Every structure is written in structure tokens, then in C-alpha cells.
Amino acid sequence: MNDAINYKNAIAEIESIVEEIENETVDVDVLAEKVKRAAHLIKFCKAKLKTTDNEIKKVLKEFEKEDNASG
């Protein structure tokens, strides 16, 4: 997968990797790479969630300012 990933695709890939590991279908020769990829995707997802949370908080603060200014 290229670096142009999105949250939905990252989650799907993490789930796929976990399923492969749980089902013991991952070859030992690629296990480390799968784990590294999963770690990279988890970091991406955490960052995306944090960014989204910050953006939502910013929007909500703007609404609060508007309410306070008009009230």
C-alpha cells in the first residue's frame, strides 16, 4: 500500500494483519514486516483521531464564542 492512506483503509489493513496473525497464516519470514506495518498504521490512526478531535473542539469553541457574543 502506498503512503496515501486514509483512516478507513488503515483500519481495514490493521484488521487484516491481526486476522492473519491470529489465524497463524503469516509466514515467519514476513511476520516482522507485518508487525512493523501494523505499528505504522496504528500511529497513523492515532494521529488522525487526534487531529480530528482538535478540529472538532476548535469548531465547538467557535460556536460557543458566537453564542456568548449574541447572548
In a domain, 2, yes or no: no
- The answer to the question of residue 35 being in a domain is yes
Q: What's CA 21's distance to the chain center, in Å?
A: 20
Q: How many domains does the chain have?
A: 1
Residue 39 inside a domain? The answer is: yes
Contacts of range 15-18, beta carbons closer than 8 Å, 24 or more positions apart: 17/41
Residue 1 lies in a domain: no
What is the span of the domain harbouring residue 60?
7-70
What is the C-alpha separation between 54 and 47, in angstroms, rounded? 11
Residue 5 near residue 44, CB atoms below 8 Å = yes
Residue with cell 491481526: 18
CA-closest candidate to residue 5, choices 56, 43, 57: 43
* pTM (two decimals): 0.79
Q: How confident is the model at residue 17 (pLDDT cuts 50, 70, 90)?
A: very high
Q: What is the pLDDT of residue 3?
A: 57
